[in-house]
Structure 1
Amino acid sequence: MKRLLIVALGLAVYVPGPAAMAQESFRVELGRDGETIGDMRPVFLEFKSRPMPAISPREVARRYQRLFDNSDEPEVRIDALNRLSNIQKATNEDVSFSNEREQQVYQQALDSYEAILDRGSYQGRLDELLYQMAKAHAYTGQAEESIDRLRQLVGLYPSSTLVPEARFRIAEAAFSAGDYAVAESEYSRVISGEGSDSLKTKARYMQGWSQYKQGPAAWDRSGETFMAVLDRFDDETDSFRRIPTSDAGLVEDTFRIMALMAAEDRGADSLDGWLNSVGGRDYGYLLYDRLADYYASNTRYEDAVEVNRHFVGAHGNHASVPAFLSQNVDVWLMAGRTDRAREARAEYVRSFAGESRYQSLARSDQGRWQEFSRLLADYHYDQAENAGADRRREQFRLAADYYRQLAARVTDPGEVLRLSGDAFLQAGEYRQALNGFQQAAYDTSGYQGAADAAWAAIVLQRKAVDGHYELELTLDELASEAERLAKTFPGDRRLPGLNADIANRMLARNRRDDALKFAEAAIAHPAASAGEQYSAWLVSGEAFVGAESYGLAENAWRKSLALLNSGALPDRQDEDRRSLQRQLAGSIYQQGEQAANEGRTDQAVAHYQRVESVLAGSDIAIKGRYDAANTLLQAERWQAAVNELNRFRADYPQHELAGTVSEKLVFAYQSSGQPVRAADELMAEADGNAPTWEQQLRAAELYHKADAHERRNRIYVAWLDQGDPAAAPPDSDAHIRNQTMRQRLVAAGVEPRRYRAELVASEVTSQWHSDDTLAWAGRAAIELGEQEAARFAAVPLQHPLGPSLKRKQEAMAAARERFMQAEQLGGDTFRSEVLFHRAELYRQMADDLMASEAPAELNELETMQYQMLLEEEAYPFEEKAIRLHAENHQRLADGHFDHWVEQSLQVLAKLFSGRYDRDVRWMTWNEESNDGA
């Protein structure tokens, strides 16, 4: 595990035991007396050093050893040992006794010490002698004797400078003997005495051990004691940043024993109590660290992690929090629990996710945060790829969140941003995914995958526009993104296909200008494939058609066809070619329409006729030919139109449009003043079928206008003959048409009596009339009446009178009926004429009766009587004649004067010469205004 101490400390903890303490030296000077108590040697009384003789140190040492062995004087023997020690120090050469010999020498030295004490006289200091004896006893394994001598020293010489070390040795002896309360007390005397700070620190350290050994009841005291040790080193080592090598073990052991004690007690809560009891310490975090280390080294991984979390929870803003959280990762890795290590990484990342917290981290900790974030992101991404449907989104979302956090804090975030976009996409967070791709593409510098990230954004937006993702994006946003891609990565080979796709989308929304812009970009791109160009040209064609730019559309269709015919598009079949040809033909045709609408007849006709060169025999080509003729008709270029129409009918006799050519030819002939040719066109057989009555009647009118009466009359007669003359026509137009035909036939002398009779009969029975039909029928009735009147006049009254009179009366009745029909039909128009003719019928009857011969067998008287009877029969007729003529005469009073009124006056003048035979001039009266006169 990573250690929190800046200076690395050893993990071994030396806890003195009874056996070891029996051989420990008095002076606990680590590094000088030896690393362990077993390595220490007794220290002898020091005498004043003298210069070394001019012989080798080994020879000098040999002589002093001989002196020790041969002398019987204790002082001499002690002095010899002292000098051997001085030689050893001065020369750094090994001039000491062997191990076996050394034990014998020290035992002999003890005898010398005892002898000096027994004698009671000694030129040196007795406290020092007692001290040396105690050490010699200790070295030779006589612990109790050694302690006795030390107690003797302390009791006899309390002011001696050797007392602190003596007391320390007495405390150690109690500790080794298991008298921990005594040891605690003795160590307390050392601490409160006159010894050096170093010795007091060691005493306080051992006092803490003594308290620890007394059990849980004394652990609070032990904790305070050990912290006092640490307090001293905290002050002297700049918060443990510069620990001398000689003190490193002690410091480390102090931390370790406190960790051990806390682990055996209440763990982190114990540390809390000890620290709180002294008001807290800056180095307190090191205690929690050692406790976590202790747990981890003893495979108590859960406890180790809990300690770290305990510290983080209580000291969330401490500078060591990142290290504690990081140690949790190490602990779980040590335990082989990669899952828990991953959770620890997540906790670390989560703890410093906020910007202020992250910025508070050291650079190395920031690097660790980035490392953990990437590991977690990659892990969840990998898990998502292999997860079931239920967990897939969740795992991708976690990965995406880690990638997104990490991207803001790494130097080169491009790849991380792209991965965040991909993970968000898989998680269904489409807006976040889009942001990730866009940032990777456009907000990073030097990212090699920027173009691919930009393309990923395009793909996402395109699917969103298509409705595959729950993300509201417009086509305009997709178009803007495409333009951004083109501006940033102009050489990207995917651009032509993208532009062609957007062009198609714009076209589908009838946004022709935008469609053209993207289509042109696709076509112009140097990397555009034949298929992409083909697609873009198709869009251009459609857009130009929609904008009614048919010339440009024609160019687009021709470009498309050229690509198709080049063989570069093997997957495109004949169906595409036929479709393009139809589009091309349509554009040419529409150019013809535009030219025609603008009055450019020649260009219109040329475009219409050009269609056939593109798609011969097609409906649109045939229609183009047809419309070329129509255009000529609209331009009133009659002969050219006639020629084109005739050519069209000759080329496409079976086409449905050929059936309308005749009508257009009729129009052209009529418009160009050729009614007979128009009529002939109407009368021509079509497909072996005779012309319809409608065509024939129209032809008859055209013949009538051209004065081709004979052709006209044949049609009239055939028409009138094919129906029942007595049948009522279906409508007013039919009635007037039929009456017109009859009138024209009468005027042409074709069976006039028949058609006059039909005129009168049809008009009398019809519910429809016009001024012309009434006048025609009225005139016909008069003419028929005149014919009947002539027949009436031609019937002679012969003897016997009865039969001839009957014939005469029948003829008169027929004439009278016609005249009455004329008056009925013509009204006031024919009244004068009808009155005259009717009056003349009666007058003629009267005259014919008076002129008839009497039977030859009558005598004169009978003849006179017969004549009188005739006069009586004739008189009523004459009276009726006079009355009718007089009625005609009365029309003068109403301002009516015409030929028939004058004729009636002439008749009246003959009948009543005295009254009517006057030399006057009859004229009509026209009452005019006098203009105010």
Structure 2
Amino acid sequence: MTRWFHSLGLGVAVGLTTALAQAQDEAPATLKSLEERQIEITPSEPREAGLEEMRENYRELLKLTQDPSERNPILRRLADTELAIASQADDPREPARRALNIYQRLVAVQSYREREADLLYRAAHAADLAGDTAAGITALTRLIDSYPDFKLIPEAYFRRAETRFVNGSYRVAAEDYTWLIERGEDASFYIQSLYKRGWSYYKLARHQDSLSDELEVIRQLVGTDGIAEDGTLAVSDISQASAEVAQDALRNMTLNFALLGAEYTPADFVDQQQAQPYEYLLTQRLMDYYLDKERYTDASETALAFARRNPEHPQAKALEVASIEALEAGGFDKPALEAKQAYVTRYGIDKQSWYGEDPLTVDEVRERLQEYLDSITSSLHAGAQETGLTVDYEAAAEWYARYLSIFPDTPRAAELAFLRGEVLFEADRFADAATMYEQVAYDAAPNEKAAEAGYAAILAWREAAGDAAATDPRVLESTQRFAEQYPAEENAINALARLAEDRYRAGELATADELAQQLIDHQPPPNNTQLTNAWRIRAAAAQDAEAYADSETALRWLLNNATPQEGENWEQQLATAIYKQGEVLVDAGEDEAAAEEFLRLRSLVPAGTAEDVRATALYDAAAAQIRAENTGAAISLLESFRSEYPSNELADEATRKLAELHLEDGNKLAAADEFARISQQTQLESAQRLDAAMQTAQLSAEAGSTSAAIAAYESLLTQHSPDFETTIEAQHALIDLHRDGGDTAAADDWRQRLIDTHADNAGAATERTRTLAARASLKLAGDKRAAFDSTRLSLPLEQSLPAKKDRLQAALDAYGQAADYGIAEVTTAATYHTGDLYYDFGQALLESPRPSELSGNEKAQYEILLEEQAFPFEEDAIGIHEANVERIGNGIYDEWVRKSLAQLAELLPARYAKTERMSDGIVTVE
């Protein structure tokens, strides 16, 4: 008799679990065929050899046998042969189906319970090979129900459970497994049933029940000693089949935990089951499963939960790391970063115990901390650069600080400090950034970032100072320190140049000058542009400090190194600097030296440039020579100035100074020329121009240049609209000039003009104007007198006398006009000449020629007649002279009074012949 499941061992269980499992979350299938079983064949059963021949023999025998009692044993043997053939065939279905049919027929007619139970068992086997699971289950169920005491009933239960499991009937399969399990640990199929019920519960979503069964399988097979330190099962001491069952049970547990998730964790399970030794095993497998399924956050949380729950477990610290690695593997950068930060905080900052040791003394921890800090800082830095948010830069800066705090002696210290400076800068914490940069540049050991950090510190201080960067002392100190420490760096020169320019623009010229000098002295030297700016600053600073010699030095350099376009500007400034040196000498009272300095400007600055300064310097040189009383030099310089700069605003002033200098030098004619120019200076007030014109005329006259004087006076009258008095004076001068020049007619013409001018302005007359007008009138009256005198009486008298009388009257009128001005000297003269005219006219009558044809008597009568005509004129003459003499009583006793007195003495000798001067008056002696 064949025993289908005879001596079923763990080897069969292994085939049952592993060979048919198709995926990690699939439950294992049942046995596929008899090939997986060891079949014991009784002596009555056919041997393997000749099975096909035996099958044919049984078939032939059946043809010859009609008796049912004989046929049934043959049929059974034929069925057993078919079953054997099926067990060995590659495709067992056909022979197995034939065997199943025979067994079913035999069961239907079998009358012995023992034989029926065996046939049911064999039918179930054949149904399995034929793939007719329904027939197999029917056979096994009938066997179990009908023959509960049959020796193979446990095997039948297990076979039915397996078939049900494969068919997906997990609930009833679990019931069959339970029947077997309840027989106890020593019963057959206990471990296999626990294991398969665990899978059935898994399929029924009874996860906690499944976990319990599979844990028991592991306990039975490997115990607690079979768990390796690395979280694997130590199965070297058990059979391969048992090892595989244990591993698969563990896999089932992993699947259950994966489905339960946070609802029911390995920690919850081991606490409930009092199975703490298995917690790490379950955690590690679950984490591996999550990783394989790319459930990275679940893997991370699982690992970290164990580590936090079991901090002293040998694998706890490793799981913390694994938790982080899971997040990184899944690309969960932010959670991974946060996990690393937490790790560093625990062991680097808080220094939580590392299995009783200071974590920073453990090489493994130090390496991990540095690795994480590298990752944290670089990640936060990159993130901040991406977002540009201040808060992100702040976070990066804080972690750089923590890195340096934990590992102050790290070889990366300088680099990290520099990077911290970078993020502080981006976070707008400029002062903190600058301090960090300076630590790298000046306090840290020599490093490749030092020079860059030194320059970055300058930039940070600038940002910290904002609008006040140009004058901030921190910027100055940092710049100078950088230039001193790293002179060969290009940025050292750049920083000095920029700060010098800043200080210059801010008006801090003294500091700017110092920086510019540092730049000039710097080695290696700055470029041409920087050098030019430095000298420009030096020039400006020197000018501001009134150190004009220094300014000149700087400007000369600039001029010597300037482009043609720039040269004019520097020449202008150079001229100014030299000029200012002259001004300093002027202020010091060193006028001759000042003049030389002003003139030095003209030799150093070419004509055509800085003309305004050149002109001013030339003028001021002349002014200095004036003060030094070097009149000749001053005149020469002023004449050069006026010649070179006729349009200069000081040209007119130069003319005025020249006029004064020529006067001082006694050169009246040259002075007159200058005053003539002054009189044409339209910017002067008319009164000033008039005064200059008057001086021109007067000086010309004084210099003996009559023609020049006449021209000057005439110009004065025609071009300057002089006032009344000045006009009178000018006309008077012209009278004198023409008179002295022998041009009597011109002189008389100007006398008449003077008289007319005075008449037109009688209301404005003064003593002086009346005097001049009176004198002019007197002179013109004299001309009338001369005309009178030149007119001779002739015969016939009646013809010549009217002309003589007309000229007499004209002269009398003229003298009367002269006397009307009320000027004593003129009045007395006019009075005298009037009296004299009367007397002369009378005498002319008396001395006129006598007609020759008169008889003696007629001659006598003619004489008497002439005397009668002449006498009134003599009487008038006496009266006029007496009137003139009477002025003596008014204190007037001039030449003309004396002449009148003398005339009276001749005309009235008895009365006026004797006079005597007494004291200050004239006394007439009766």
Q: Aligning the two structures, in what range does the TM-score lie when normalised by the shorter sequence?
A: 0.5 to 0.7
TM-score normalised per structure 2: 0.56
1:18-417 aligned at under 5 Å gives the runs 19=13, 180=178, 213=201, 260-265=255-260, 267-271=261-265, 293=287, 296-301=290-295, 304=298, 307=301, 327=322, 329-335=324-330, 340-348=331-339, 359=350, 364=365, 366-367=369-370, 369-377=372-380, 379-380=382-383, 394=387, 400-401=393-394, 403-411=396-404, 412-417=412-417
CA deviations on 1:784-837 (whole Å, 9 max, x unpaired) are 23443454576677876587346524543454345435644xx56668537835
Match of 1:717 in 2: 710
Q: CA 1:736 to 1:866, structure 2 compared with 1: closer, same or farther past 3 Å?
A: closer
734-743 or 842-851, which deviates more: 842-851
Structure 2, unaligned stretches of length 5 or more?
A: 1-9, 17-150, 158-171, 219-223, 237-242, 353-358, 405-411, 678-688, 922-926
Match of 1:632 in 2: 625
Letter in 2 for 1:415: E
Letter in 2 for 1:596: V
Distance 2:183 2:735 in 1: 163
Match of 2:578 in 1: 588
Quick check: 1:404–1:420 contact (8 Å CA) kept in 2? yes
TM-score normalised per structure 1: 0.55
Quick check: 2:299–2:326 contact (8 Å CA) kept in 1? yes
Match of 1:537 in 2: 535
Distance 2:908 2:283 in 1: 166
Q: Which of residues 807, 812, 836 is equivalent to 2:809?
A: 812
User: How much does 1:436 deviate?
Assistant: 3.1
Q: Which of residues 776, 784, 790 is equivalent to 1:788?
A: 784
SS at match of 1:409: helix
User: How much does 1:522 deviate?
Assistant: 1.6
Match of 2:730 in 1: 738
Distance 1:285 1:921 in 2: 167
Quick check: 2:539–2:552 contact (8 Å CA) kept in 1? yes
Q: CA 1:729 to 1:499, structure 2 compared with 1: closer, same or farther past 3 Å?
A: same
Percent identity between the aligned chains? 17
Q: CA 1:778 to 1:504, structure 2 compared with 1: closer, same or farther past 3 Å?
A: farther
Quick check: 2:287–2:299 contact (8 Å CA) kept in 1? no
1:553-632 aligned at under 5 Å gives the runs 553-558=551-556, 564=561, 573=563, 583-584=573-574, 586-611=576-601, 614-615=604-605, 617=607, 623=615, 628-632=621-625
User: How much does 1:455 deviate?
Assistant: 1.2
1:841-920 aligned at under 5 Å gives the runs 897-899=892-894
User: How much does 1:595 deviate?
Assistant: 2.0
Q: Which of residues 518, 523, 538 is equivalent to 1:521?
A: 518
Quick check: 1:728–1:766 contact (8 Å CA) kept in 2? no
Distance 1:880 1:355 in 2: 150
757-766 or 861-870, which deviates more: 861-870
Q: CA 1:598 to 1:903, structure 2 compared with 1: closer, same or farther past 3 Å?
A: same
Quick check: 1:822–1:830 contact (8 Å CA) kept in 2? no
Matched, 1:495 2:488: no
Quick check: 2:396–2:420 contact (8 Å CA) kept in 1? yes
SS at match of 2:403: coil
Letter in 2 for 1:593: E
Quick check: 2:758–2:769 contact (8 Å CA) kept in 1? yes
SS at match of 1:526: coil
Matched, 1:775 2:771: yes
User: How much does 1:641 deviate?
Assistant: 3.9
Q: CA 1:212 to 1:358, structure 2 compared with 1: closer, same or farther past 3 Å?
A: farther
Q: CA 1:822 to 1:505, structure 2 compared with 1: closer, same or farther past 3 Å?
A: farther
Distance 2:513 2:255 in 1: 81
Letter in 1 for 2:287: D
User: How much does 1:753 deviate?
Assistant: 3.2
User: How much does 1:283 deviate?
Assistant: 12
Q: CA 1:839 to 1:329, structure 2 compared with 1: closer, same or farther past 3 Å?
A: same
User: How much does 1:529 deviate?
Assistant: 3.9
Quick check: 2:659–2:671 contact (8 Å CA) kept in 1? yes
Quick check: 1:797–1:849 contact (8 Å CA) kept in 2? yes
Distance 2:910 2:208 in 1: 180
Match of 2:479 in 1: 482
User: How much does 1:325 deviate?
Assistant: 8.2
Match of 1:765 in 2: 760
Match of 2:458 in 1: 458
CA deviations on 1:163-200 (whole Å, 9 max, x unpaired) are xxxxxxxxxxx99986559969989xxxxxxxxxxxxx
SS at match of 2:751: helix
User: How much does 1:769 deviate?
Assistant: 6.4
Match of 2:26 in 1: none
CA deviations on 1:456-494 (whole Å, 9 max, x unpaired) are 3435777999xxxxx545311343431343466566554
Match of 2:4 in 1: none
Distance 2:215 2:910 in 1: 179
Distance 2:777 2:517 in 1: 84
Distance 1:463 1:607 in 2: 47
Quick check: 2:696–2:709 contact (8 Å CA) kept in 1? no
Q: Which of residues 736, 742, 750 is equivalent to 1:755?
A: 750
User: How much does 1:442 deviate?
Assistant: 3.0
Match of 2:663 in 1: 670
CA deviations on 1:330-376 (whole Å, 9 max, x unpaired) are 234444xxxx3323334436768999996477654754541332341
Distance 2:666 2:818 in 1: 42
CA deviations on 1:686-708 (whole Å, 9 max, x unpaired) are xxxxxx99999766533444xx3
Distance 2:373 2:199 in 1: 46
Q: CA 1:432 to 1:839, structure 2 compared with 1: closer, same or farther past 3 Å?
A: same
Quick check: 2:470–2:506 contact (8 Å CA) kept in 1? no
Distance 2:691 2:720 in 1: 19
Match of 2:449 in 1: 449
Distance 2:508 2:581 in 1: 22
Distance 1:476 1:226 in 2: 80
Match of 1:151 in 2: none
Letter in 2 for 1:512: L
CA deviations on 1:699-726 (whole Å, 9 max, x unpaired) are 6533444xx32x2x1223345678999x
1:625-704 aligned at under 5 Å gives the runs 628-642=621-635, 667-676=660-669, 678=671, 700-704=697-701
Distance 1:398 1:746 in 2: 105
CA deviations on 1:728-759 (whole Å, 9 max, x unpaired) are 94656862563253254267364243433333
Match of 2:98 in 1: none
Distance 1:20 1:176 in 2: 19
Quick check: 2:591–2:624 contact (8 Å CA) kept in 1? yes
User: How much does 1:439 deviate?
Assistant: 1.4
Letter in 1 for 2:628: A
Q: CA 1:223 to 1:866, structure 2 compared with 1: closer, same or farther past 3 Å?
A: farther
Give the RMSD, CA atoms, in angstroms. Answer: 6.7
Quick check: 1:438–1:457 contact (8 Å CA) kept in 2? yes
Quick check: 2:300–2:324 contact (8 Å CA) kept in 1? no
